[in-house]
Amino acid sequence: MPTRQETRRVLLQEELATANTLLHLTLEAGKAVGWDWDVTTGRDCWFGDLQTMFGTPSTTFSWHGEDVRRHLHPEDRERVWKAVKDAMDGHTPCAAEFRVVREDGTVRWVAAQGQFYYSHDGAPQRMLGVAVDITERKADEEALHHKDNELAEAQRLAGVGSWQWDPETDTVIWSDELYRIVGRDPRLPAVNFRDHPQLYTPESWDRLRRAVEEALRTGAPYELDLEMVRTDGALLWVMARGEVQRDQAGRVVGLRGTLQDISERRAGQEALRESQERLVLAAQAGRMYAYEWERASDVVVRSANCAQILGSTSKLRVTTRTQMMTTVHPDDRALVVDATRGCTPEHPTNRVQYRVIRPDGSIIWVEKHGRASFDRDGEMQRMIGMVVDITERKLAEEALSSLSRRLIEAQEAERARIARELHDDIAQRLAMTLVALDQRRQAAETPHAEVLRQTDDVRRQIEDVSRRVHSLSHKLHSATLHHLGMTTAMQSFCEELSAQQEVDIIFAYDDIPQEIPEEISLCLFRVLQEALHNAIRHSNVRRFEVELRGASDAVVLTVRDSGVGFDPEKAMKGRGLGLISMQERLKLVNGELSIDSKRERGTSIHARVPLSAAGSAQTLALAT
Amino acid sequence: VNARGTTTPGGLQNGLRPKVLLVDDHLPVLEVVRSVLEPQFYIVGALTDGQLAVDAALRLDPDIIVLDVAMPGMDGFQTASELKRRGSRAPTVFLTMHDAEEYAVKAIELGALGYVLKPRMLSDLPSALNHALDRRLFVPSIVTVTAAASRGREHAAYFHAHDSVHLDELSRAAARALRRGDPVSVVGSEAIRSDLELRLTRLGMNVTSEKAQGRYEAFDTADALSQVMQDGQLDRERLAGFVEALEQRRLAVAPGSESRMTLFGDIAVPLWETGQVEAAMSVEHEWDALTAARRFLSVCMYPVDCFAEADGAQFQRVCAVHSAVTRSPNIQLPA
């Protein structure tokens, strides 16, 4: 018969065993471990879900302190050890969250709590503790944190801010991005709904207010484009979305939503809309169509207007470039081909004017603007562009050109006639008068001194008038061009002008063919006069170079200065008739004018006239 | 002294007036020209058209042809070319309203022997015709003589009024020669030389540099004269030495076959002014002979008041020793 004491001991042992089992079961179920560390021996006994925590396939394990340390994550070792030491020295409970490295190398987070027990003399005897695996919680926390960051980043990137409003207290909460959109210091509280009118233009506020009232009343969400007034006064377009929040009873307790900065999108939409409208208008008014050509398939797709412009009866908007080329005027085909070939990745656009023969045989002029796209190797892939019917413009240009030709011809003919009249008739009559005067004087025997003086006076006056008439005639129409040729005429004009204006004009020439058609020499002479007069008037320098060069098939006149320069395009539009008249004159002899001028970098005017094609130009009546 | 009777190849005989063919598209002008020339010349024909003139010239065999420049159809220059091409040997003199030098130069390049401006025809045209009949050039300006390089050697008499017009012409002529790359020598008084240098500078010439390169040289008239005269007589050796020195300078400075030594000088003037007419003439004759085979343009500058109006004979003597005659535009030449 056991004694009562024995029985009590057995019972206690049984209870203890039960409690121990329960503890183990609890620990394993909760992914937890317990430890009992004998500080004096260093023996550390671990039990519980050692598999999960350390990857050790047993329920109890006996380690030395060093083994435990080894299983701690290197980055956490010092921190944990310090916490343990503090607790031991301070007689306080110890709590820490740290990582352990399992046998298989994976890392687990644990939260541990322990307590030291001391002997009577205060020396630490043992430490008991429990550690729980919190890896999953940590991962959730991490993910949540990450999500918060992501959300903020997404809001920042999208320009979307979020908000919440409690109508009861009129408390508003804004996200960081919303502060940024509004331009409000994030350290300040968000603007109350009561003060929202200051955030929007009156019209936008009115719409927002009504939408919010509606939402509170009916629970309907809203989405509005609003014009916001930032705190710095700038206006921007935002899209505001809002929806109600309800409690469990379904009562509306608040609103939440987002606010997105859509200024750029709105500006883009606006521009796109305008450009689309313009395109449609232009296509209708300017008679044009769009096209797209894919090089690999040679397929050309065109917009609807093409049939009307090209006069085609078929409604087919798809063709091939090869097919399309057959409708191009034979003389212009090379031009069209070259224009496409000329496109490079650096200069992907081109513009070419050519004639199209319509199915009914009529010819129209079109201007094609294209932009090519290239692959990485620089091979052309496709081309898109517009084709404009410029027939009317061409006709107008031709009419204008013929008109200006007639004008110039008429002007030159009239100048020549008046010059001839002045020179051959009036000046010659004056000359004959002088001769007659001289004859009278010679015939008079012993003339009176006073009479001699008077006749000398008259003679001088007539000579003076004669000189003026001659100079006027010369200015109107230089007979030098006719009698002495272009080179001499230009040279003496340069000499006369440099003497008269006190400037240096350097004239150089070479290889000028003997026989140059008079309409060409007159044209170049007039260009020289105009160019030099312009240069003297506007360049602010006193030295000019004139060069007349002959090539096998053309004559090129260059007038150069190193003066202030100008913008040729502007000058063509605004600066009197000088440049335009030069260009018009050159056009009449199939020549071309090019102007090379930069601000403060001088000006060069080149006039080039082909000699072979000159035969087609009409001959001016220039006899003097 | 007039040598025309023996030198003119046109079949002219002593005592007969030279035959002149007039070409001008204006009838009133033809009438005035006829009245100016008729006392001395015989007008064999007056035509208003270049083409007709060419045919007439070959048919009428004139001693001289007077041509207008500006005419409808074939102009004067084309007519002169055509005459040459068709074998006409009659010298041509242009009578025109065009006073630009380029016209006169072109006329000379086409072989004309005279260039006369219409307003000056009363005094100049008969002179020009007479000079032309003697195969002497007559042009209205010293600049033209300088510019007409195609004639090569030239010994010109240039009459002036000793004024700014003269100096202006002289400087333009010198500048023209220098621009062509020809070496220039001047024989003149201190006043003329310094004035000329000033004017050349104003025309954009760098006289110092031209001098340094030996392309411009100036001599004092009195010094030069004292070098070539010995006891009132011309020392031919010394004059030859002077000419040779100039020639050597030309060859050194501009050795090309196209270059001309261009000399403007008044070395004979002091002799005229002191009545040493024969000494002056011997200088001219010797100069003419010394430069005959050289590429020299010698312009002998004479103040026109050296020759009294009545003294036409002396003037004619001076002209006769030259290959070209010209004058300042503001003076009348003695008849």
pLDDT tens, position by position, B193-245 = 999 999 999 888 899 999 999 999 999 999 999 999 888 888 999 999 999 99
Residue whose structure tokens are 């008041």: B305
Is the pLDDT assigned to residue A534 strictly greater than 50? Answer: yes
| pTM greater than the 0.95 cutoff | no
Task: Report the gap between the CA of A500 and the closest CA in chain B (Å).
Answer: 13
Q: Tell which of B30, B32, B96, B180 to mutate to test the A interface (max A CBs under 10 Å).
A: B32
Q: Is A472 an 8 Å CB contact of chain B? A: no
Contact A493, A529 (CB under 8 A): yes
Residue whose structure tokens are 């002169």: B80
Weakest-pLDDT range from A119-133, A259-273, B208-222: A259-273
**pLDDT band for position A467 (cuts 50, 70, 90):** confident
Q: What is the mean pLDDT of residues B6-14?
A: 42
Contact A550, A510 (CB under 8 A): yes
Q: For residues A479 and A485, what is the distance between their CA atoms, to the nearest angstrom?
A: 9
Is the pLDDT assigned to residue A66 strictly greater than 80? Answer: no
Highest-scoring range by mean pLDDT, A251-265, A507-521, B254-268, B286-300: B286-300
**pLDDT band for position B6 (cuts 50, 70, 90):** very low
Beta A554-561 vs A592-597: how paired, if at all? Answer: unpaired
In this prediction, residue A235 carries a pLDDT of: 86
The residues pairing with A111 across neighbouring beta strands, listed in sequence order, are A97, A132
- Among B231, B328, B228, smallest CA distance to B287 is for B228
Q: Is B106 an 8 Å CB contact of chain A? A: yes
Question: Residues 556..585 of A with a Cβ closer than 8 Å to B: which?
Answer: none
The residues pairing with B261 across neighbouring beta strands, listed in sequence order, are B296
Q: Is A444 an 8 Å CB contact of chain B? A: no
Q: Collect all residues of chain B within an 8 Å Cβ-Cβ radius of residue A483.
A: 69-70, 75, 77, 98, 103, 106
Scanning every residue of chain A, which has its alpha carbon at the shortest distance from the alpha carbon of B203?
A499
Weakest-pLDDT range from A11-20, A186-195, A287-296, A388-397: A11-20
- Among B128, B121, B123, smallest CA distance to B107 is for B128
Residue with more model confidence, B272 or A568: B272
**pLDDT band for position A24 (cuts 50, 70, 90):** low
Is the pLDDT assigned to residue A152 strictly greater than 80? Answer: no
Q: Do A504 and B204 touch (CB under 8 A)?
A: yes
Q: Do A435 and B32 touch (CB under 8 A)?
A: yes
Q: Is B56 an 8 Å CB contact of chain A? A: no
φ, ψ at A246 (rounded to 5°): -120, 155
**pLDDT band for position B135 (cuts 50, 70, 90):** very high
Q: For A328-371, what is each residue's pLDDT tens digit?
A: 999 899 989 998 888 998 888 888 899 999 988 899 999 888 88
Weakest-pLDDT range from A24-38, A121-135, A452-466: A24-38
Is the pLDDT assigned to residue B14 strictly greater than 60? Answer: no
- Among B144, B92, B93, B97, smallest CA distance to B119 is for B97
Report the 3 state secondary structure along chain B: CCCHHHHCCCCCCCCCCCEEEEECCCHHHHHHHHHHHCCCCEEEEEECCHHHHHHHHHHHCCCEEEECCCCCCCCHHHHHHHHHHCCCCCCEEEEECCCCHHHHHHHHHCCCCEEEEHHHHHHHHHHHHHHHHCCCEECCCHHHHHHCHHHCCEEEEEEECCCHHHHHHHHHHHHHHHHHCCCEEEEECHHHHHHHHHHHHHCCCCHHHHHHCCCEEEEEHHHHHHHHEECCEECHHHHHHHHHHHHHHHHHHCCCCCCCEEEEECCCHHHHHCCCHHHHHHHHHHHHHHHCCCCEEEEEEEEHHHCCCCCHHHHHHHHHCCCEEEECCCCCCCC
φ, ψ at B225 (rounded to 5°): -65, -40
| A504: Cα within 13 Å, side-chain hemisphere | 12
Q: A601-611: buried (b, 16+ CB within 10 Å) or exposed (e) per residue?
A: ebbbbbbbbeb
Q: Is A468 an 8 Å CB contact of chain B? A: no
Q: Collect all residues of chain B within an 8 Å Cβ-Cβ radius of residue A473.
A: none
**pLDDT band for position B37 (cuts 50, 70, 90):** very high
Q: Is B176 an 8 Å CB contact of chain A? A: no
Contact A486, A524 (CB under 8 A): yes
Is the pLDDT assigned to residue B48 strictly greater than 90? Answer: yes
Q: Do B69 and A623 touch (CB under 8 A)?
A: no
Q: Return mean pLDDT, chain A.
A: 83
Q: For B108-125, what is each residue's pLDDT tens digit?
A: 999 999 999 999 999 899
Scanning every residue of chain A, which has its alpha carbon at the shortest distance from the alpha carbon of B124?
A435
Q: For residues B172 and B144, what is the distance between their CA atoms, to the nearest angstrom?
A: 10
H-run or E-run covering A435: helix A428-443
Q: Is A319 an 8 Å CB contact of chain B? A: no
3-class DSSP assignment, residue A525: helix
**pLDDT band for position B334 (cuts 50, 70, 90):** confident
Backbone φ/ψ region at B165: left (φ over 0), alpha (ψ -120 to 50), beta: alpha
Q: For A304-325, what is each residue's pLDDT tens digit?
A: 778 888 887 766 678 899 988 9
Tokens of B269: 């003037």
Is the pLDDT assigned to residue B1 strictly greater than 50? Answer: no
Tokens of B37: 């020339």
Q: Return mean pLDDT, chain B.
A: 89
Q: For residues A373 and A118, what is the distance between their CA atoms, to the nearest angstrom?
A: 85
Q: B270-295: buried (b, 16+ CB within 10 Å) or exposed (e) per residue?
A: bbbeeebeebbbbbbebbeebbeebb
Task: Report the gap between the CA of A555 and the closest CA in chain B (Å).
Answer: 23
In this prediction, residue A623 carries a pLDDT of: 31
Residue with more model confidence, A220 or A22: A220
Beta strands in A405-489 (DSSP E): none
Nearest to B29 among A432, A488, A491 (CB): A432
Residues near A363 by beta carbon (within 8 Å), at least 6 away in sequence: A329, A355, A356, A357
Q: Tell which of A424, A473, A514 to mutate to test the B interface (max B CBs under 10 Å).
A: A424
Contact B56, B48 (CB under 8 A): no
Scanning every residue of chain B, which has its alpha carbon at the shortest distance from the alpha carbon of A488?
B102
Q: What is the mean pLDDT of residues A540-563?
A: 90
Task: Report the gap between the CA of A620 and the closest CA in chain B (Å).
Answer: 15
Q: What is the mean pLDDT of residues A11-20?
A: 71
Weakest-pLDDT range from B8-12, B113-117, B165-169, B270-274: B8-12
Residues near B282 by beta carbon (within 8 Å), at least 6 away in sequence: B234
Highest-scoring range by mean pLDDT, A7-16, A80-89, A281-290: A80-89
Q: Collect all residues of chain B within an 8 Å Cβ-Cβ radius of residue A463.
A: 119
Is the pLDDT assigned to residue B41 strictly greater than 80? Answer: yes
Is the pLDDT assigned to residue B12 strictly greater than 60? Answer: no
